[in-house]
Structure 1
Amino acid sequence: MGINPPLITPIHMSAAYEFPDAEAAAGIFGLEVDGHAYSRLGNPTLNVLEERVAQIDGGVAALSASTGQAAVTLAILTLVEAGDNVVASNELFGGSWSLLGATLKRFGIETRFVSPEDPENFDRATDGRTRLYFGETLPNPRLRIFPIAEVAGIGARHGVPLIVDNTLQPFTCRPFEHGAAVTVYSGTKYLGGHGAALGGLIVDSGNFDWASSDRHPVMTDPDPAYGNVVWGERSRRLPDTRGRSSYLFKARETLLRDLGMSLSPFNAWLILQGIETLALRMPAHSRNAKRVAEHLTGHPKIVAVRHPALAEGIEAEHVERYLGGGFGPMVTVELEGGRAAGARFIEALRLFSHVSNVGDVRSLATHPASTTHRQLPEADLLAAGITQGSVRLSVGLEHPDDLLHDLDQALAAV
């Protein structure tokens, strides 16, 4: 009697895999045959997660990593060398800002931060050593939709791929349909939805020809890190989903191999459980966040409320174009009274948890200027839309009446 297949993806907790013979082992390590050798490079459970996230975005392949920050790092480092530069939005998550503005600088990689309010800023900052553009679909906590198509179009003229961090809008925004070449995710956030597991994903759209672009010698020149292989040629020989992306094939076989940013199979399994309800959760988050934003607008103790549902002009057009009528799960409020008022407000919340994470089914709150963006100078905080009185709300799936009551009682304590 045969064994019926499991309904739930199994967790393959194995560091290594037995080869059937010496020839097969040589073929796998020689990149001629697809197969697993060591879980630092790939694992059956991870493969399922990668395939599903690629399908969600409409991409040809995906690569998992230990965290969202690891995914962003791998996505960028795969394309750059010392002397190259990146043109990035100045409206970014604090960790990405630090990576691009400080850490990569130590390795001779320059980041040119520009305002996405005028997409042509990306064109003006581009030169012959620009390897990629980088932005966030819904910048955290600025919450102004990134002009994906406009920047991707500029990149197409120069042969520069656009990498979009779509962490806050999985399923509801599809950057590939607007010209983005790559998406990155923190799977810790809305993909998982439960806050129980760290993880990251990189997805290749399949729309950018990495192998024929003169701008990307890392893909077209022999790579001494792996026997002078030319990644754009060798990766096309393999039949599986990893073989359909020369970019991710290089990322897997060089940087993931060398830096060891591998995702745990157990964490991959946890994120897979969250993905099963993603299509239900994201619209519900959006509805609750819209209720919260509208309720707080005009409150005498609040200077400003930011949420895509409140956007006007070109920003409202971007919301309709890129979110398809949805509004997103995040709300940022600026309290009168600055940092002290923000602290009192957060400490008075009862249903909202005070944590630095976002993307849980439960509601969360934090003060960006003293936590996630603490390392930024004051001028850069303001450029990112953050004041000392800003509080970021990750609106969960609790009953909206309970959420509004908690916010009202906390504001009364300010």
Structure 2
Amino acid sequence: MKTETILLHYGYKSDNNKSQAIPIYQTSSYRFDSIKDAYDLFTLNKQGNIYTRINNPTVGVLEERLAAMHNAKSALVVSSGQAAILYSILNLASFKDNIVSSKYLYGGTYNLFKYTLKRIGIETRFAQTNNITDFEKLIDNHTKAVYIESIGNPTNKIADFIRLSAMAHNNNIPLIVDNTVSPIIFNPFDFGADIIVYSLTKFISGNGTSIGGAIVEKGDFDWSNLKFNNEFSFDKSYHGLSYIKKFKNSGVFTAKARLQLLRDIGACISPFNAFLILLGLETLPLRIEKHCKNALKVARFLSNRPKVSWTNHLSLPNHPDRDLADKYFKKGFGSIIGFGVNGGFEKAKAFVESLKLIIHLANIGDARSLIIHPASTTHSQLTKEELKKAQIGEDFLRLSVGIEHVDDIIDDLNQSLEKI
């Protein structure tokens, strides 16, 4: 079954009411048939619904479609992209462990890694570049994962994913890829990734109405190796449960995250938000193609404007990662464009405030075109030195190109440039 068909049909058959639309199961809990039925569900002797914090039929359809979309073993949907990222790390690492990450990250992820994880004893080591050697030299016996964004937000930095995954596997650790900005156009599993995380709020939802996140598990990483054997082979809270043995055919990593982290921390998505995201998922292939086509034209327009000092998009010939982009992003280069206007922050401020169509807000991947000044918003909690290392200057503007008619997007950019 092709992706477009999967996203419309997979994981749902109409129930006794013959509803074509996926029902919203807006319930906190579920009735048991008997004492034994309840016991078997709680002790994992059989699968089923207990409490919506753990699973829900509406959410389950979304999980099945996300897994099928990636040709993966399983998926876990949670309350937000940040929850998905946090769970992907907590599922692997604990006190005195570390992860090695790219430094080219969304600001919220950078803060999570540098400050919040540190408070619970998990260190994040940031590679100085996306070169493989800069990652590998930071790995030691306590490293539990390599982490990277498919296309860095907002810098559009990428890596050689095949080499990066091979290096991680040589060190017996998984590669986790945040694929939020490039669903459909890039499947990290095709190039060696083991875990994918998403903010479903962005392109997958596509309408700016609902918050959600996901962890997708490819399903072939060996969790029984010495670095992870204790975490995945013996869970005292389930009387010695081995996730490796019980869930080897249905997703070891996501089963552990569901049964431990959703149970204990509870960052579950609401069924209504899952329903809204399912609606967005149905049109994702059409939208992402339009996003990418529009971004190509907008990037070329900006790169030729005298008042624009620089433009950053993977499609441009002068992008430092263009060769890697041609290798990995054959279906499109994404729709996030970074650029600067002559005159620094004051001119950037005037430019944003002169826009009429393009919306100024903190999001990406909406059907509408969006813009923001990262240094004063999404990355404002970074120090000046950290901003410099992340290559986010005072003039940096991030444009998330929408699916409006491209002429209207360009006209709005042009009229605003003429005013500064």
Q: TM-score range by the shorter chain?
A: over 0.9
1:122 CA displacement: 1.3
SS at match of 2:295: helix
C-alpha separation in 2, matches of 1:10 and 1:3: 11
Q: Is the 8 A contact 1:342 1:389 kept in 2?
A: yes
Structure 2 letter corresponding to 1:196: T
| Alignment match, 2:282 | 276
Runs of 4+ in structure 1 deviating by more than 4 angstroms, as ranges, are 311-314
Listed one character per residue, the Cα deviations across residues 157-189 of structure 1 (whole Å, up to 9, x for unaligned) are: 011100000000001101000000000000000
| Alignment match, 2:245 | 233
Q: Is the 8 A contact 2:360 2:371 kept in 1?
A: yes
C-alpha separation in 2, matches of 1:57 and 1:165: 14
Q: Is the 8 A contact 2:166 2:192 kept in 1?
A: yes
| Alignment match, 2:332 | 326
Kindly report which structure 2 residues correspond to 1:165-180, keeping only aligned pairs within 5 A, or say none: 165-180=178-193
| Alignment match, 2:146 | 133
SS at match of 1:112: strand
Whether 1:290 aligns to 2:302 is no
| Alignment match, 2:272 | 266
Whether 1:111 aligns to 2:111 is no
Q: Is the 8 A contact 2:75 2:215 kept in 1?
A: yes
1:4 CA displacement: 5.6
Kindly report which structure 2 residues correspond to 1:59-70, keeping only aligned pairs within 5 A, or say none: 59-70=72-83
1:231 CA displacement: 2.2
| Alignment match, 1:10 | 23
Listed one character per residue, the Cα deviations across residues 338-381 of structure 1 (whole Å, up to 9, x for unaligned) are: 22111111111111000011110000000000000001112221
1:313 CA displacement: 7.6
Kindly report which structure 2 residues correspond to 1:1-400, keeping only aligned pairs within 5 A, or say none: 3=16, 5-210=18-223, 212-236=224-248, 244-312=250-318, 315-400=321-406
Structure 2 letter corresponding to 1:235: F
Q: Is the 8 A contact 2:84 2:214 kept in 1?
A: yes
1:198 CA displacement: 0.3
1:214 CA displacement: 0.8
1:222 CA displacement: 2.4
Instruction: Give structure 2 stretches of 5+ with no counterpart.
Output: 1-14
C-alpha separation in 1, matches of 2:229 and 2:345: 47
1:19 CA displacement: 0.9
C-alpha separation in 2, matches of 1:360 and 1:112: 32
Normalising to structure 2: TM-score of the pair?
0.94
C-alpha separation in 1, matches of 2:370 and 2:234: 48
Normalising to structure 1: TM-score of the pair?
0.95
Structure 1 letter corresponding to 2:37: A
Q: Is the 8 A contact 2:43 2:238 kept in 1?
A: no
Q: Is the 8 A contact 2:72 2:219 kept in 1?
A: yes
Listed one character per residue, the Cα deviations across residues 294-335 of structure 1 (whole Å, up to 9, x for unaligned) are: 001132222210001014487222212221141111111012
Structure 1 letter corresponding to 2:340: E
C-alpha separation in 2, matches of 1:246 and 1:216: 12
Note the aligned Cα RMSD (angstroms). Answer: 1.5
Q: Is the 8 A contact 1:365 1:391 kept in 2?
A: yes
Q: Is the 8 A contact 2:313 2:319 kept in 1?
A: no
Q: Is the 8 A contact 1:306 1:333 kept in 2?
A: yes
Q: Which moved more, 1:26-35 or 1:195-204?
A: 26-35
SS at match of 1:142: coil
C-alpha separation in 1, matches of 2:239 and 2:381: 40
1:57 CA displacement: 1.4
SS at match of 2:247: helix
C-alpha separation in 1, matches of 2:159 and 2:44: 38
Q: Is the 8 A contact 1:319 1:325 kept in 2?
A: no
Q: How many residues align?
A: 406
